[in-house]
Amino acid sequence: MAKPTTDLQKLQQLLQYRWRDQSLVHQALVHSSFTYESRDREELNNERLEFLGDAVLQIIVSEHYYTLFQDKTEGELSKMRALTVCETSLARVARSLELGRFILLGRGEERTGGRERTSLLADAVEALLGSIYLDAGLEESRRVTLRLLADVMEDVITGQALRDYKSELQELLQRDSTEPVTYLIVDESGPDHDKVFTAIVMHQGIRLGEGRGRSKKESEQQAARMAMEKITADERAGGVQNGTVW
């Protein structure tokens, strides 16, 4: 069975939360594929905690936006909440914590890139929040949740919440390959206060896309977006020619 690092001390430091009941954090990190392949089929996986964490997340985010924006309609608040708690946003949080390396996975899930799968990472974040709720209650869950989602919420509030093309591209490519997707900043232009970065995205030695932006992060997202659009266009045209998409 593929096991993650056992250094949960690091994870607890990143979360700024220490479980009183350590069995809860262990359960939150056990994927169903690990349980299925384990000799001990009685070991609990994180699916029930994920169910609970989803509800906890919904109420915390709903209350936060409801209190913060007195003038917004139900529809506007619902849209903001949806952008905040979607898989892409939660996977972004998971990657900032390097959560994938802590998760217990079965061999099959490991081989197919489970540690970077958007849906799996998002589920693990919900399971962790569910475990914190059981361990310490709603108030502590609120503190941890609002801190973890601070950057996501800022993007939602300022209208900067974007589709996460990097995550989508990685998940798409790792269906058939375990080789990582890499990004290179190949150019910087303009004065320090107004730089433009150019990034390219590579996979298996092939350049898939190029993008420009006011930050390295934005340029990488644009490169991934171009790659996704090219792959989609090639698939519609009948497939990628000779294994290349550029």
How many angstroms separate the CA atoms of 32 and 55, rounded?
A: 20
Among 50, 109, 116, 126, the active-site one is: 126
In DSSP terms, 227 is beta-bridged to: none
Cα end-to-end distance, the chain, whole Å: 37
How many angstroms separate the CA atoms of 47 and 235, rounded?
A: 34
How many angstroms separate the CA atoms of 211 and 200, rounded?
A: 6
In 10 A of CB 113, how many CB atoms?
Answer: 20
Catalytic-residue membership of 126: yes
How many angstroms separate the CA atoms of 203 and 246, rounded?
A: 11
Among 54, 109, 110, 135, the active-site one is: 54
Catalytic-residue membership of 54: yes
Torsion region of 204: left, alpha or beta (phi above 0 gives left; psi -120 to 50 gives alpha): left
Contact 209, 186 (CB under 8 A): no
Contact 201, 192 (CB under 8 A): no
Which sequence positions are flagged as catalytic?
A: 54, 126
